[in-house]
Amino acid sequence: MKKIVTILATLMLTTMSINFAKAEGFAIGVIGAAAKVEGQGTETEGTAADTSTRTKSVSNDVFTGSVFGEYSLANVSYADSGFTFGVRYTPGTADVSDKTFSRTDVTADANETVQDDGTRNAQAEVENYINYYIDIPLYKSVYVKAGWSQMDVNTKESSDITTTGSYGNATIEGINYGIGIKGESGNVIWKLAYEATNFEDLNLTSTTSNKINADLDISEVNLSVGYKF
């Protein structure tokens, strides 16, 4: 990801002469992105017999495809450009981690009434990412982006232990920001950008009163291509 950001910065410096779209207009298009999903969470056992905690950091590199629609507004404060308001939607799912984590518990006391020996598997995925944004012109072809994002988080835990609970799913929101370059050729518009989204903390309680507190973030480099009407 650092190498891609370096390449993007170089392209930005060498394309300062490219103009923004100069007129108002509505555009639709597609986005291809190389993204990194990162998460760090803590699980706390909720029983009186076990109040232990476990902390884990995970990440996964994914390629995603999105669709977008936006409207560019001419702004007299800028000679060559204006503000752009848009929405982006990413269908499909992406795993938070590049692997499934397992833990095997062995109970030493064979006289326990309820045994919890067995293996637990944990994984999570994100889906239905939607982003509302505004592109703010910075200098010629360079712009900065600010937005609000939302996505669903689905837990995919499994176990052969009958007393193990489940966490369910949640929807979280976050702040999106980025920087990039954009241009147009006829009715075709394009953007190349680096973006990051910082989501609010995810808090889940299982059916057995265990608790998870997690922080999820997404960073990406993306290329947008669209048609302007």
Work out the average pLDDT over 125-137: 90
What digits encode the pLDDT tens for the residues 143-152?
A: 999 999 998 8
Question: Which has more pLDDT, 167 or 174?
Answer: 174
As given in the structure block, the two tokens for residue 56 are 């884990």
Band of pLDDT at residue 106, cut at 50, 70 and 90: low
Work out the average pLDDT over 140-166: 76
pLDDT at 47: 58
Residue 136 has pLDDT above 50, yes or no: yes
Band of pLDDT at residue 96, cut at 50, 70 and 90: low
Residue 209 has pLDDT above 80, yes or no: no
pLDDT at 108: 52
User: CA 156, 161, 163, 167: dihedral to nearest 10 degrees?
Assistant: -10
The mean predicted confidence, pLDDT, of the chain is 75
Question: Which has more pLDDT, 32 or 93?
Answer: 32
Task: From residue 97, give the alpha-carbon distance in Å to each of 23, 133, 177, 228.
Answer: 43, 27, 23, 37
Considering only CA atoms, which of 138, 141, 137 is closest in space to residue 17? 141
Question: Is residue 126 within 8 Å of 91, Cβ to Cβ?
Answer: no
Work out the average pLDDT over 161-169: 63
pLDDT at 120: 55
Measured between alpha carbons, how far is 10 from 24 in angstroms, rounded to an integer? 29
If DSSP codes are grouped into helix, strand and coil, which group holds residue 203?
Answer: strand
Work out the average pLDDT over 73-90: 72
Measured between alpha carbons, how far is 169 from 199 in angstroms, rounded to an integer? 15
pLDDT at 139: 85
Measured between alpha carbons, how far is 156 from 49 in angstroms, rounded to an integer? 25
pLDDT at 11: 46
**pTM across the whole model:** 0.71
Question: Is residue 181 within 8 Å of 143, Cβ to Cβ?
Answer: yes
